[in-house]
Amino acid sequence: MRRIPRDRGFSEQGGFGLLALLVVLALAFDVLPAARLIAAAVAPGGTFAPDNALSVIASRSAIRASLATLETAFFSSLLALLIGGAMALVLGVTDVRARRSASFLFVLSTMISPQVVALAFLSLAGPASPLLNTLGLAPEAGSANPMLGRGGIVLVLGLHHAPLVYVVLNAGLRRIPRAVIEAARIDGATPQRVVRDVVLPLLRPHMIGATLLAFVAGAGNFGIPALLGAPVNYLTLPVLIYRRLSSFGPGVIGDVAALGILIAAVAGICVALSQWLTRRDAVQLEEDAPLQPFWQLAGAKAAAGIFVWGLLGIALVLPMLSLLAAALVPSYGMPLDASTVTLDNFVEVLVRQTVTVRAFGNSFLYAGGAALMLAALSIPLAYGLVRHAGAGRTILPALLETSYVLPGVVLAIACILLFLKPLPLVGVSLYATPWIIVFAYLARFLPVALKPALAAMEQVELAQEEAAALDGARLRRRILDIVAPSLLPAAAAGGLMAFLLAFNELTVSALLWTAGTETIGVVLYNLEEAGLAAQAAAVAVTSVVIVTLAMVALDRLGAWLPAGTLPWDIAAAPVRAALPESLSTSPATRRRPAAPPLPAVAAVPSRAFRR
């Protein structure tokens, strides 16, 4: 039997190839596009001239768009924090009914593409709303749609990004040790006081990070401001870049690169601030069983249920019903009744129109192909990061996440600049081909596909690999026979998650598509721009059905995944099981036991445990 030299552990054998793959992907997906973007902005035409970039950024249109971007992103992030934080607390610490179903539906509302959400709210409000006309509640004919403009953008962005805040806070709740809550309850604290003095202080870093994440998502969003702001000339930076690039005059590449750097700078500052504040406020918690719901609502359970399902009705049900009503009438603005209901719009976009049929096929092909490649890559990448990265364990994931953190419009501009000319050595150009869209999908959604595989890799026992290595198995054989079977469900889940996000994607595709490579997001936007709202609604309803089915399939994989991998995962244990038996009796009749030692939690105020 062949043995490994004692001076080198098995995990150091054959890992160079995996590390090289990680470095190459980080360079190709993140470093080179960013470098090309900066070069085009400060050295247009190959001559160093930063004055051009400064003049573009300081122009009146850029300043006005920057203010609109900051304004909508700021107020929508506050709204997202309010809604997502309330939902996280209600579903995370109380015994409200159907908690997991509500969590699934809430996350579904953010998986639906932004342009579909914007179109749904456009069809919900205004004098032409089929749903309001059916109910006899439509405003007076000729009045403006209240969703158009700054207020509508803030409302829709806030509702759309609230689940992002919810997912971050839900993950933070799962990290709070159960012993901290039990100690406070044993010391006589009411559930309200536990939430106020224990849970919220421990969630503060996550609240900051979630708010900044919603801000970055709002600043880089294209679909919602394009449909709700562009008609009234309220332009954000992504919409301004799209208009500039559509005109494609002399010097436009340098102009849009400068504007792209401006958005990237805003996003980078927010991400850096989030990491700094999170590290500053981080609390070291002792390892313990995760938090479970501890607040028994009793008579208030009905009110909590009304809040949860009412919010879901506003964020998901009503807009989708309005979208369906708009797709079932012959033309936008007609009421829906037995005499007007028709499936012609669905037949038109799914059978007759060549462009929409091709767009559905393209979206399945591009998003599905990218998802399959990402799922296959996630296994060796997760293994390399966990077993071989060493000091690069923090640097490499941060580099790989760059393209996901940056707004999609910035990534699209970087891809255009990177592939506008033929590739060196091979002489092949990816510009104006489907491959540039696939490349952008791979770069943007690699961190999404990699996260479940990393979580699963952390749980793979090292002893099995050591035994195989001692028996002579090389790295490839160990990965194929031991690691891959364990990571396969997580890799499939990551691939499905990437497919969900890429299928309806518009921000990247809007700048990269050409004739014949249209995607669903592009076709939907073009139909709405052309005034074919009923056909756009039919496309949107079909895409929502596809995304919902994909999420259901992903949910079915949850049984084979590590806890907390799926963003809508939530503790499902009974409330009484999470509390000491003595706390299930009334305060007047129970005898208080001696309080156990409290784990060292620096951020929990001492007053939380005082009578």
Residue 49 counted as domain residue: no
- Domain containing 598 equals 60-341+572-611
Rounded-to-integer distance, Cα 609 and Cα 196, Å: 12
More confident residue, 554 or 558: 554
Tens-digit pLDDT profile for residues 121-159: 988 887 878 888 888 777 877 788 889 999 999 999 999
Is the sign of the CA dihedral 63, 401, 437, 355 positive or negative?
negative
Q: Which residue has the tokens 């590290």?
A: 279
Indicate whether 405 pLDDT > 80.
no
Q: Which of 466, 483, 515 is the last residue of a domain?
A: 515
Helices (H), 8-113: 16-26, 32-42, 50-57, 60-93, 99-111
Tell me what pLDDT residue 580 has: 42
**Based on the domain organization, do 371 and 296 belong to the same domain?**
no
Cα–Cα distance, 36 to 564 (Å, whole number):
37
210 and 308 fall within a common domain: yes
SS (H, E, C) 371-432: HHHHHHHHHHHHHHHHHCCCCHHHHHHHHHCHHHHCCHHHHHHHHHHHHCCCCCCCCCCCCC
Looking at per-residue pLDDT, the higher value among 185 and 308 belongs to 308
Domain boundary among 500, 515, 530: 515
Residues 201, 108 within the same domain: yes
C-alpha separations of 7 from 4, 11, 34, 240, 464 in Å = 9, 12, 41, 59, 20
Number of domains in the chain: 2
Nearest to 331 by CA among 142, 523, 133: 133
Is 566 within the bounds of a domain? no
What's the CA gap between 157 and 163, in Å, rounded?
Answer: 11
Which of these, 403, 381, 405, lies nearest to 392 by C-alpha position?
Answer: 381
- Residue 347 included in any domain: no
298 & 392 share domain: no
- Last residue of one domain, picked from the residues 472, 490, 515: 515
Band of pLDDT at residue 602, cut at 50, 70 and 90: very low
Domain-embedded: residue 431: yes
Pairwise CA distance, residues 236 & 220, whole Å: 9
Q: Which residue has the tokens 């409330």?
A: 575
Residue 552, in any domain of the structure? no
Element holding 464 (H helix, E strand): helix 462-470
If DSSP states are collapsed to H, E and C, what string results for 232-268?
A: HCCCCHHHHHHHHHHHCCCCHHHHHHHHHHHHHHHHH
Residues 117 and 169 in one domain: yes
Local confidence band at 105 (pLDDT 50, 70, 90 cut-offs) = very high
Task: Give the Å distances, CA to CA, from 430 to 204, 371, 437.
Answer: 45, 19, 9
286/296 Cα distance (integer angstroms):
26
Q: How far apart are CA 110 and CA 288, in angstroms?
A: 31
The residue-averaged pLDDT of 553-564 equals 78
Residues 335 and 412 in one domain: no
Least confidently predicted of 111-115, 259-263, 571-575, 583-587: 583-587
Do 305 and 407 sit in the same domain of this protein?
no
User: Is residue 383 domain-shared with residue 321, that is, in the same domain?
Assistant: no
CATH no. for residue 132? 1.10.3720.10
- Check whether residue 323 and residue 248 sit in a common domain: yes
* Most confident listed range (128-132, 511-515, 590-594, 602-606): 511-515
Please report whether residue 97 resides in a domain. yes
CA distances from 94 to 98, 487, 489, 514, 579 (A): 11, 33, 31, 50, 13
What distance in Å separates the CA atoms of residue 5 and residue 390, rounded to the nearest whole number? 20
Shared domain check, 36 and 124: no
